[in-house]
A and B are shown apart, each in its own frame.
Chain A
């Protein structure tokens, strides 16, 4: 039984890594239809595996599906962190906080919606839209009046954001009774109380959660990113602790009784399924890759390599760090939202900063600055630690699963000793390569034209 399970999980993990390779390879093909076919196939293969049943035994049990969804959300968070830490060189522990913010934000929206209250969506949606407008407005004004010190700029942004939030609460509060007949309530279901509407609300709640996390990261990152690397790390640790503390006290010091503070939020509709996970996984992969493989992405790398030289090259280092930080946090917010609707129960303990080391470990484990490595490590990590070890050790005795937190650090230590650059170093597959996009093709053509000698055609980082 143990051996069978061991073989089964190794095969599944290998198959998933193969699936990732295929997906990235296909997405890296030049033609749009090739990409489309890849996406459909990659989706279909897993969907078929989920549906497939041989007698009583499911090929992909509910447990495995759960692992898959967790692996995908972890991938989103870790890819965002890799952008911040791996590509931009900013050691951040705040990623888990943004994950928590995203999870709670979207859970609150859908929870209220299913209990017949549309105000969550209205207030949060209006809040993020007005907040974004306020930030853009202040940014534009500050650009006109140059030379404003960073802390003053921060104050202006903060005031604008608070004002936007206040306006959103007032406006949303005024609008929701007006719109209530259309949205419906538990007593009198309205037009939009249909399952389809719920799916739409779910989608909107994910986007709002991401946007909200991004706005928070902007206002937090603005003053803090100017700190040096270690100090920035400490500041982000502070952020993670603040988020957790606020979540623990969400029903007392924050006006969200439905979040139930430290007791944990229950009753979140379990709307996450493979379609949603896959769609957002692709979205995140595309966002991160398009960011990294661009002029902005190169500037991001330059900031990691040498900030002073980057400045001397005309790169606005502060702005660049902020961009990477906001995009990374946005992605973490999306991941959090998906996770909340998979698990259906949120407790502040899951968003403790200790847990926040998990994506950090994954990013380092997979290879700093390797997007492929991050994905592979996320999948490997979840399937190994949460799946295989938990089940395998569970058969040895009821206390044995605790040993997984001993076994996996040992595995980590060994890997770091053998491969300090991480599992994949900076190697990339297919879609993530510099060589498969138009620039890469131009690059290969040019390299052929200049007739490189020896190892000249190697991609960076090999």
Chain B
């Protein structure tokens, strides 16, 4: 713990527990996320990482414990309210709005701050025209940042896998988050694409002044990009620290490879 110098904490999870019936998917999870960090959340399959994401974003209600974002309690809020507060996420299996254009995918992310309501749209008021134009132009500029503007009118489902990932990340960023949660962003990518993704994540972090929490299984990716790592197993945190500390942590090796392997690794 001492090795992690915390500035402002952006997200703090205290004793978060989620029970599905008798199964504790997440058990007494503590997590402090310093502002501006790239933190990794790793662990074997079924360790409760995605459940932890779902708890943070309000997709599923928490059983006990507390989650606060920028000092404000967010457990108990609806998922859309959490997003509006400034936490955006991507999904393990890409969840784009597949039959809509890339532009519309981004414009949907602008919905909560579109600046006009149903009344304006039904009456086609001047405010509607202005805001809608502004919104579209903003979305195009935004896509331009990611060099996706050439694909703006493509239907999302027609894009290749890697680009769908990029669109999904861009769409999450369009929600203007301060904390971005990435659920296995490198899944299904080849080594070259993974390297590109690492650059991409550094780029968006600096560009949008983000804090990033990510789940990933590709160790090269995690060790290369994360400043801090939390390791989970069976719903509990078993280790935390810098990549170098995690690599030699006995419990981590044990969790991934079994007890014997840990002994071999230690010898």
Contact = CB atoms under 8 A, between A and B. Distances in A.
Contacts of B140: 446, 450
Contacts of A299: 108, 111
A152 interface: no
B171 A313 contact: yes
B111 A438 contact: no
Nearest to B140: A446
Interface string B133-152: 10111001000100001111
A315 B112 contact: yes
A296 interface: yes
By Cβ-Cβ distance, the 6 closest A-B pairs, closest first, are A294-B121, A305-B97, A314-B83, A295-B114, A314-B112, A309-B95
Interface string A302-338: 1001101111111111000001000000000000000
Interface in A17-72: none
26 contacts: A287-B122, A291-B118, A291-B122, A294-B132, A295-B135, A298-B108, A305-B98, A305-B99, A305-B100, A306-B97, A310-B97, A312-B95, A313-B108, A313-B112, A314-B109, A314-B111, A317-B80, A439-B132, A442-B133, A450-B140, A456-B152, A456-B153, A459-B153, A460-B100, A460-B101, A460-B155
Nearest to A462: B155
Contacts, number: 145
Given A315-B108, A317-B80, A295 B122 contact: no
B124 interface: yes
A356 interface: no
B103 A294 contact: no
Given A311-B59, A313-B108, A438-B133, A297 B121 contact: yes
A54 B79 CA distance: 66
Contact of A450 (B98, B149, B171): B149
Contacts of B114: 295
A461 B88 contact: no
A85 to B, nearest CB: 15
Nearest to B172: A312
Interface string A438-462: 1100110011001111001111110
A447 B152 contact: yes
B118 A452 contact: no
B153 A312 contact: no
Contacts of A438: 129, 132-133
B62 to A, nearest CB: 14
A206 interface: no
A285 B219 CA distance: 55
A299 B105 CA distance: 10
Contacts of A294: 116, 118, 120-121, 128, 132
B219 to A, nearest CB: 27
A296 B118 CA distance: 7
A311 B79 contact: yes
B230 interface: no
